Structure 1
Amino acid sequence: MSLPRSAYDPRRVCVIPFPITPFLRHKRAIGVYAAGALFAMAQWLFFDAAILSAHAKPPPDAPYDEVPVHVTFVDWIPGICSTLGMLVVNLINRERLLGEGGIGGGWGEGGVVWRARLYLFLGFALMAGGLAGSVTILVLKYIIPDYPDKYEYYGVANVAQNVCIMFSAVALWLAQNTQGEYEYRLAL
């Protein structure tokens, strides 16, 4: 069986092509919007917990008791680290990472590749540190003291914020590094 010359693509693996849906043509835009939505959801979750904590009141049966725990600056640090890590990871040019070279190249062309890979590692380390810090805060500050469930939400929101920021960084990285239809036509 032979295919008509107009439908032949040497890069194709299957004889029967997969249908191209209209929304897949805009995969870069979809990826950027999805990353933005994940980042907005991450910040919204944490700000919700911080606002709930700021307006927490003691139970009505004991109006003179104090609220046992609040969101403090320590709770903000993991989100700040993850956000900085996301910025560092997505500011790196992909072509710099794929170049040939290593540490022995000095600070010339090989040094640029080495520095780009170092910055990428530092960005992922910041995001991993933010996630580990948020899990640590959840366990040490909210679960071990055995507060009621409504106070554990503050720590769960912190962990969810960091997970959403990490997924947002991955979605934005993938979206930025895909070739659009316009760029593909220019290459032909």
Structure 2
Amino acid sequence: MVSRTRVGELVQGVVSGLNRGLVASKDDVQKADAAAKEIEGVREPIDLHKMRGWWKLRYCSAFSSQSAIAMPDHVTIGEVFQRIDILSKDFDNIVNLEYTGPEPGKKIDKFAHKLELIGSSKVKLTYDSSKSQHNSQAPWAILDALRPAAKTGSSTEFEVTYLDADTLTTRGDGNKLSVFSLRSHGL
């Protein structure tokens, strides 16, 4: 079994300071990927029901400076959460954005999905709807990393590669690595 110390090193050491991956260099992305592969190498059964709760995004390789994602100058991405309810099959990506442009202030975008557990470690998300606290179009380019195409009924899949009481790692489209820490079991 992977030691909790090693998991802590991944979350706190390798990905900390990378601003959810937004400031990650190519070297940072490679280090995060190598640390995740070490954890993922231990193929224990994963109880997907333990995903229930609020998970805070610590790192996403799709946000790195090596990706094609660009933020508009007037938008800063803040905290990102996934709210996962296995019983109701609700899966929400909640993104806090700060605007300095025409509509200044902090806004929240929510991308609602329905989830389906596939086998022992895969999750299928079917896009349901978006809800936004602002009137202008959100910076969809960066938010694409958190949702399938904004078309009701479109879907994507990801694999849960590590899950314990505090840490969740996933691999999605294009082998995208995401690392989350548990914020709360409450929904």
TM range, normalised to the smaller chain?
Answer: under 0.3
Greater radius of gyration (CA): 1
The higher relative CO (CA closer than 8 Å, separation ≥ 6) is in 1
TM-score (norm 1): 0.24
Q: Looking at secondary structure, tell me which structure has more strand per residue.
A: 2
